[in-house]
Amino acid sequence: MTRESGSPSLGRGRGTVPDRILLVGTVITQTVLVILAWFTWQTFKLPVPWTGTFPLRWPPVLTGAALAAVGAMAVWLLYRLWPAFANSTGRSVIPIFRGMSWPTLAVVSVFSAIGEEVFFRATLQSILGIGWAALLFTLLHVGVRRELWGYGMVVLVLGVGLGYLYAVTGSLVAVIVAHSLYNLTIGGLIITGGFDPDNP
C-alpha cells in the first residue's frame, strides 16, 4: 500500500519494533543460544564446530550465498503468487523488518545467523540430525500459530537446506554466510518496498 492512499506501507517508514529493542533482543537471544551450545558441547563431548573451518574454503561459502539467493527469490515469488503465504509473511516477518534501518538490519542479520547456526546446525544437528534440528529451528521462528505456518514451511525447507550444506561441507562459515545473506536480502526487500503488493 502507498502512504498517499492512507494505508500502511510495507516499504519505508516506522516499523512495529524499535531498532533499539531489535538490537538488544537479538544480542541477548543469540548470546543465550551460543551459551546453550557451549554447555551442550561440554555435556555431549562434541567437537568444537569451527575446527577445520580455517583456512577458509570458498566453494562452500559460495554455495551458501547461492542457497541464500534461491531462498530469498522463492519467498518473494511465493509472496506474490500465494495469498495464504502472503498473509502468513505479513504477520510474521514484515512487521519485524518494516522500517528497520540498514545498520540495524546488518547487525540483526549477522548476529542471528551466528547464534542460530552455532546452536541449530553445529550443535543440535550433531545430536538430533538434520530433520529435527530444522523442525526446532522452524518452531523458534514461527511457534505453533497455524496462521504463520505458510511462512513456517519455507523456514523448514531453509533449515533443511542449511543442514545439508553444513553436513556436506562441514563449514560453519558457509551456513552463517547463507543465513546472513538470506536475512539481509529479505530484510532489504521489505525495507525498500519489495514486498509491497502495490509494487510490480
- pLDDT tens track, the chain, 200 positions: 333 333 333 333 345 678 999 999 999 999 999 999 999 999 988 877 765 555 567 888 899 999 999 999 999 999 999 888 888 888 888 888 888 999 999 999 999 999 999 999 999 999 999 999 999 999 998 887 777 888 889 899 999 999 999 999 888 999 999 999 999 999 999 999 888 755 55
180: its cell numbers: 546472513
Kindly provide the b/e burial profile for residues 35-72, where b requires at least 16 CB atoms within 10 angstroms of the residue's own CB: eebeebbeeeeeeebeeebeeeeeebbebbbebbeebb
Q: Identity (one letter) of the amino acid at 92?
A: S
**Would you kindly state where each structural domain of the chain is located, as residue ranges?**
19-45+58-191
At 197 the pLDDT is: 57
End-to-end CA distance of the chain: 12
At 8 the pLDDT is: 37
Report pTM.
Answer: 0.86
Are the CB atoms for 30 and 107 separated by under 8 Å?
no
At 55 the pLDDT is: 57
Number of Cβ atoms within 10 Å of the Cβ of 159? 25
